[in-house]
Structure 1
Amino acid sequence: MTQQIRIGVQLQPQHADYAQIRDAVRRAEDLGVDVIFNWDHFFPLYGDPDGKHFECWTMLGAWAEQTSRVEIGALVTCNSYRNPELLADMARTVDHISGGRLILGIGAGWFEKDYDQFGYEFGTVGSRIGDLADALPRIKARLAAGNPAPTRDIPILIGGGGEKKTLRVVAEHADAWHSFGDLDTLRRKSAILDEHGQAVGRDTATLVERSIGVSAPPKEVAAELLEAGVTLFTVGTGGPDYDLSLAAEWVAWRDAQR
């Protein structure tokens, strides 16, 4: 294993007042998680579809000031919602505010309501993946051109599982890949990712961290996921209460592996 085992928590920015989100960030960092994620949507994904919700990147700037140890990022930001150069400069700024703790999580986008309500062209799955492939070199170029430069090479996490196109983009550009689906899906797509890596000349088996969301205790799923190559395990939790009890179990399991 070349990657360190890490535990993330996704604080879904829905059905809560911001004070409750801020408190959940504090509790998550105190708990000892490695990464705190939000997500990049404009409306809740479940529960009341018109319930309370907050914007992703404004929030990440606040988290960068509030926290001191954890990495922060979106799981994941939607490539469609911002010009690639603007997104890169936002990432560079949050990188500096946080002292080098930003993960640039990004994906092609899928939630049609966001597109319709905010005036973005929804297109097709293929066109959105193509846009993501076109955007990543532009993002990297703008990061490299920024003054001041980012504090580090900002790690890029790509979420998605399309076997022909998305995983090719992951192989070309990502430092981490977030998989959706069950264990068998993870194993199959991880192998396909490595095939793409061979085609583009990157050793994705060692260079691309495997990430997945978990909703069960580690005693039930950790061993098989670890054997499949996962090293970043993220627990999702929603407002208004932001229950971190499952995340605490994963942090204890992580500590027992070290």
Structure 2
Amino acid sequence: MANVKKNPTWQAMNAGMPPQQKRQRGVPGNSAFKKYTMLFFVLALLLFTSWEVFLYVNDNFLNSAAARNAKPAVVSSTTHLFENENNIVSRRSTQTPVRYKRPDFEAGIVFPQWSADGYGASWQQQLPTIKTQSGARWMEMTVFLSQAAPNSTEVRTNQSSPTVQSFADGVKAAHDQGYHVFVVPLMGVDSPAGQWAGTIQFSNYQDEAQWFDSYWKTFQPYVAAAAQNGADQVAIGTELVWLQQSATSRFMEYFDRART
């Protein structure tokens, strides 16, 4: 047998035999596995495509049904506005004024003016709108005063200060509209640049006393006008940092003068 297997003719015949006639050991061929795998992918693709078509048709059907059942937009024959727009306009036109839930708070608006006639008719005409839109109950009105330098002892009004008459008219108008009025003086320093009320200071008692006399002489007419026209509160000074800390006794004298 060894000689037969080594014979070239026998080897050639054995090599030409079909695979199914050979006696081989090991796993069978891969052709059947590949066939079933390909069939599985084809079936999966068909199922996926069918499902997508079903969803598309169903979605279109539901949308068309909803469109048939929906009510058309209603248009006003006189205003040519959609019904929902009419509702919005109606709500705006009947808007009620804002009301605070805590009436004890001094809730209000600072509405300053920087001209001689600042608190005149134009300012007064805006008071009802402010009350309606914000619910403000207090109105802060400022009076601007100034001096030439931080150590100047002369306090004066300028082009940004309201006249006493304009201020008095504004206080009365705000009071008549139901506002509580709070009067606040503001101080400015003309030069050098960058100076403000907090930098006002003096090196001796005489200058301090002279400054307070000038300050009260300039501000007192506004305080009197405020009291005569229904103001509720008056501040006697703001931002006077150095004077508050270093001229306390002068401030106490000024308090007593303002109360009388």
The structure number with the bigger radius of gyration is 2
**What TM-score, normalized by structure 1, do the two folds share?**
0.35
More strand by share: 1
